[in-house]
Amino acid sequence: MSVDKSTEKEYLDIITASNLTYKQKLLHLAQAAENNCNPIKTTKEFDKFFAARGLDDMTEGKAPYRPRYICPNYGLFAEQGSEFLRLDKPETLDDLLWGLAMLYDNVPSVTSRPVYCGQLDKIIDPFITDMDDDEVLPRLHRFLNYIDRTVASGYCHANIGPEDTRAGRLLLQAMIDTQNACPNLTMKYDPNITPDDFMILCIEAAMKCANPAFANHPMHVNTYPGDYTVVSCYNVLPLGGGAYSLDRLLLPGLARMSSSVDDFMNNILPSATAELCNYMNDRIRFEVEQSHFFDSSFLVKEGLLSRDRFTAMFGVAGMSECIKELLHFDDDRAYGTDPEGNELAQQICQKIYDQVNEFDAVYSEVAGGRFTLHAQAGFADQVGITPGVRIKVGDEPEVFYDHIRQCASMHKYFNAGVSDIFPVEPTAEKNPEAILDVIKGAFAIDDKYLSFYSSDSDLVRITGFLVKRSEMEKYARGEAVLADTSHDGEGNWRANDLADRKVRL
Contact 327, 340 (CB under 8 A): yes
Residue 377: what pLDDT? 72
Which percentage of the chain shows pLDDT scores above 70?
Answer: 99
Confidence of residue 383 (pLDDT cuts 50, 70, 90): confident
Rounded mean pLDDT of 389-396? Answer: 97
Instruction: Kindly provide the b/e burial profile for residues 271-301, where b requires at least 16 CB atoms within 10 angstroms of the residue's own CB.
Output: bbbebbbebbbbbbebbbeebebbeebebbe
Same domain, residue pair 209 and 250: no
Q: Which domain holds residue 284?
A: 245-421+436-466+483-500
Same domain, residue pair 322 and 179: no
Same domain, residue pair 83 and 113: yes
Same domain, residue pair 311 and 445: yes
Q: What is the pLDDT of residues 296-335, one digit of tens each?
A: 999 999 999 999 999 999 999 999 999 999 999 999 999 9
Rounded mean pLDDT of 351-374? Answer: 99
In a domain, 328, yes or no: yes
Amino acid (1-letter code) at residue 444: A
Same domain, residue pair 293 and 400: yes
Amino acid (1-letter code) at residue 64: P
Same domain, residue pair 457 and 336: yes
What is the helix (H) or strand (E) element at residue 444, kind and residue range? helix 432-444
User: Which of the pair, 135 or 60, is modelled with greater confidence?
Assistant: 135
Res. 2: pLDDT tops 70: no
Rounded mean pLDDT of 50-70? Answer: 96
Q: Is the pTM of this model over 0.85?
A: yes
User: Which of the pair, 478 or 378, is modelled with greater confidence?
Assistant: 478
Res. 470: pLDDT tops 90: yes
Q: What is the DSSP letter of 90?
A: P
Same domain, residue pair 77 and 16: no
231, 262, 296 — which closes off a domain? 231
Q: What is the DSSP letter of 125?
A: G
Res. 379: pLDDT tops 80: no
Same domain, residue pair 225 and 263: no
Q: How many CB atoms lie within 10 A of CB 270?
A: 15
Same domain, residue pair 23 and 117: no
Residue 1: what pLDDT? 53
Same domain, residue pair 261 and 208: no
Q: What is the DSSP letter of 427?
A: G
3 state DSSP class of 494: helix
Residue 380: what pLDDT? 62
Res. 141: pLDDT tops 80: yes
Residue 438 CB partners (closer than 8 Å, separation 6+): 400, 404, 450, 505
Q: What is the pLDDT of residues 202-252, one digit of tens each?
A: 999 999 999 999 999 999 999 999 999 999 989 999 999 999 999 999 999
Residue 86 CB partners (closer than 8 Å, separation 6+): none
In a domain, 59, yes or no: no
Average pLDDT for the chain = 96
Confidence of residue 496 (pLDDT cuts 50, 70, 90): confident
CA-nearest of 372, 373, 377, 224 to 306 is: 224
d(CA 155, CA 140): 20
In a domain, 139, yes or no: yes
Same domain, residue pair 25 and 146: no
* Diameter of the chain measured on Cα atoms: 69
In a domain, 157, yes or no: yes
CA-nearest of 275, 161, 285, 251 to 211 is: 161
Instruction: Kindly provide the b/e burial profile for residues 142-156, where b requires at least 16 CB atoms within 10 angstroms of the residue's own CB.
Output: bbbeebbebbbbbbb
Res. 381: pLDDT tops 70: no
In a domain, 44, yes or no: no
- Looking at the structure of the chain, the number of domains it has is 3
Q: What is the pLDDT of residues 436-447, one digit of tens each?
A: 999 999 999 999
Residue 488: what pLDDT? 87
What is the helix (H) or strand (E) element at residue 231, kind and residue range? strand 228-231
Residues counted in the chain: 505
Residue 476: what pLDDT? 94
In a domain, 17, yes or no: yes
Of the ranges 3-12, 351-360, 390-399, which one carries the lowest mean pLDDT score?
A: 3-12
Task: Report the chain's C-alpha Rg in angstroms.
Answer: 22
From first CA to last CA, the distance across the chain in angstroms is 62
Q: What single string gives the DSSP state of each residue in 255-304?
A: HHT-SSHHHIIIIIHHHHHHHHHHHHHHHHHHHHHTS-HHHH-HHHHTTS
In a domain, 429, yes or no: no
Same domain, residue pair 252 and 186: no
In a domain, 53, yes or no: no
> 70: number of CA atoms within 13 Å, CB side?
26
Residue 67: what pLDDT? 98
Residue 4: what pLDDT? 84
